[in-house]
Structure 1
Amino acid sequence: MTLQPQHFLVETDWLEAHLGDPGLRVLDSTIAMTRQPDGGWQPTSGRDGFEKGHIPGAQFVDLMTELQDRTSRFAYALPTVADFEAKASALGIGPETQVVIYTAAVPWWATRLWWMFRVFGHERVAVLNGGLGKWQAEERSLTAASAAYPPADFRAAFQPALVADKAQVLAAVESGQGCVLNALSRQLFTGESDLGYARPGRIAGSELLPTLGFIDQKTGAYRPDADLAAAADGLGRGKDAEIISYCGGGIAATMNAFVLMKLGYRKVSVYDGSLAEWSADPAMPMETGEPG
């Protein structure tokens, strides 16, 4: 029987009930982030942890070495259509496959891969609510056994409306139209702390919607839709507003996009280059301090 398409969140009960379904592929996209003495963060692949124990049937996707544009000078840049098609096909993902993504660490690595699938035209993709942490807390099964599936034929249909570039962001800043949305903490937004990019602070004129406010810190699960909607309503933007989400490197920004799209916002894109690109260009305006 064909799985009913899931587009945003699936619960642990749902996933456990569907493990082994031939139309399902489960992907672990964990990257661990370790704070460094200089205040920056050091990413580490979650592959070792995956090999020690993972959700049965899951496959690991290493976003540190796979699914990024190897010609870009910016880490984690969106891969080419050909590279994404090849990787998705090798994972056994075809046009009717339901994909569920989880991480064992910060949740935006799951939304980053979710967003990639949406960018390349695959809508049967969802995130496991609460990730591996919630799965383990509920004492659900893990395995160290590897899983392999027959290759499929994934055909991408690139969705340009989901991706913003520097020129589009600058146009939004200069026109005052739309909403350029920062997904980071208030300390990073104001420039009180920084991530080691060329300049601290935020894109001039941008607004703040920190992603970690979407998560229940006790369970690791997303807060109820009413709470998410209340946070989004604080922007004062309608569901047809043009919103560009950014962060440091285009990762956390996908979590804002995920939540806003889940709530029914229809014109949400992610600035893939984010502050890594913007701050490196002295012609691009930035601000520090509190707005106003």
Structure 2
Amino acid sequence: MAELALLIEPEQLAAELGNEQLLILDTCSADNYRTHHIPGAVHIPPAELQAGTKPAVGKIPEKKRLEALFSAAGLNADKHVVVYDDEGGGWAGRLIWTLDVLGHTRYSYINGGLQAWLAAGLPVTTELPTSAPSGFSGEWHESVIAEATDVLDAIDDPEQAIWDARSAEEYRGEKVVAQRGGHIPGAVNIDWLELMDRQRNLRLVDLDALQQRLDSLGLSKDKTIITHCQTHHRSGLSYLAMKILGYEKIKGYHGSWSEWGNREDTPINTGDTP
């Protein structure tokens, strides 16, 4: 099998279906997985990618729990993982970030996910795959995880920047889903929905135009970029988009706004000004 790029089109995976070197991971809703999934795809329930402990429910689960999850899916060091979801890349990006934390960096994302696959008329099934537990063991990489202290350090550091992938209403503090509303001082707001092309079955928007936009807003490749949303689900897509663009210094703030906005000692701005 030729090594697959990070961003692949549905037809590229279709040509490789049945290849034993591939492990296809589906992070769609349980209903969508039961209704139709790519042949051979193993379902990873999105909730399993988050610890679920309030208030910061989006924090990453402990290593042992993730190793059990991926062992049950059949992951090992030799597998090339192909990831997709049904929503434009948020959960798929969160899964890729999780694999980065665990040190497994052989993976691809299907551009447009399940929606693009279905639109292309490619095969789906309701058949459940059988995968022998693999005994997967990861090597924890803290370098891609941002904690609240890392975010505090980044606020006044010209070599770092913060990407807030929430809605403009959340960013301005008009929609409040924590004890406090608003945004991290200095954070740049690009809603994750703006990364999806609805005319092309939720594929990523034009990458050259996206790079120009990021550069114009100070989210350039030379900086360390910390991305977040409410639970580091939507910001899974901003993380993934930067990976595809070739950024080398990206972190996911896994506590995200559910941590920041529920603390009393974290600085917050409101309105449109970063």
TM-score by length of 1: 0.87
CA distance in 1, matches of 2:196, 2:137: 33
Query: Where does 1:155-166 land on structure 2 (aligned, <5 Å)?
Result: 155-166=137-148
Partner of 2:30 in structure 1?
A: 47
- The 1:63–1:76 alpha-carbon spacing in structure 2 relative to 1, beyond 3 Å, is farther
| Alpha-carbon distance, 1:289 to partner | 0.8
Equivalent of residue 124 in structure 2, options 125, 136, 142: 142
Identity %: 30
| Alpha-carbon distance, 1:218 to partner | 1.5
Partner of 1:205 in structure 2?
A: 186
Partner of 1:254 in structure 2?
A: 236
Which structure is richer in relative contact order (CA contacts within 8 A, separation 6 or more)? Answer: 2
| Alpha-carbon distance, 1:164 to partner | 0.4
Partner of 1:35 in structure 2?
A: none
SS of 2:38 mapped into structure 1: coil
CA distance in 2, matches of 1:264, 1:154: 27
| Letter paired with 1:113 | L
Equivalent of residue 248 in structure 2, options 266, 276, 280: 266
- The 1:82–1:144 alpha-carbon spacing in structure 2 relative to 1, beyond 3 Å, is same
CA distance in 2, matches of 1:12, 1:175: 40
2:89 counterpart of 1:116: no
| Alpha-carbon distance, 1:151 to partner | 2.1
Deviations 1:218-256 (A, max 9, x none): 221112321221222122354221111111111112211
- The 1:237–1:107 alpha-carbon spacing in structure 2 relative to 1, beyond 3 Å, is closer
Partner of 1:190 in structure 2?
A: 172
| Alpha-carbon distance, 1:268 to partner | 0.9
CA distance in 1, matches of 2:208, 2:122: 28
| Letter paired with 2:141 | Q
| Letter paired with 2:192 | T
Partner of 2:24 in structure 1?
A: 26
Deviations 1:3-24 (A, max 9, x none): 5143x21110111011100011
TM-score by length of 2: 0.93
Aligned residue pairs, count: 273
Alignment gaps of 5+ in structure 2? none
Deviations 1:168-216 (A, max 9, x none): 111222555511221122222112323x211111112211222222211
Higher helix share: 2
CA distance in 1, matches of 2:21, 2:34: 23
Query: Where does 1:75-94 land on structure 2 (aligned, <5 Å)?
Result: 75-94=57-76
| Root mean square deviation, CA, Å | 1.8
| Letter paired with 2:222 | D
Deviations 1:9-46 (A, max 9, x none): 1110111011100011111112xxxxxxxxxxxxxxx1
Partner of 1:285 in structure 2?
A: 267
Equivalent of residue 236 in structure 1, options 195, 218, 226: 218
SS of 1:287 mapped into structure 2: coil
| Alpha-carbon distance, 1:286 to partner | 0.7
Q: Is the 1:3–1:23 contact (alpha carbons within 8 Å) kept by the matching residues of 2?
A: no
Alignment gaps of 5+ in structure 1? 31-45
- The 1:205–1:123 alpha-carbon spacing in structure 2 relative to 1, beyond 3 Å, is same
CA distance in 1, matches of 2:164, 2:259: 14
- The 1:185–1:77 alpha-carbon spacing in structure 2 relative to 1, beyond 3 Å, is same
2:198 counterpart of 1:217: yes
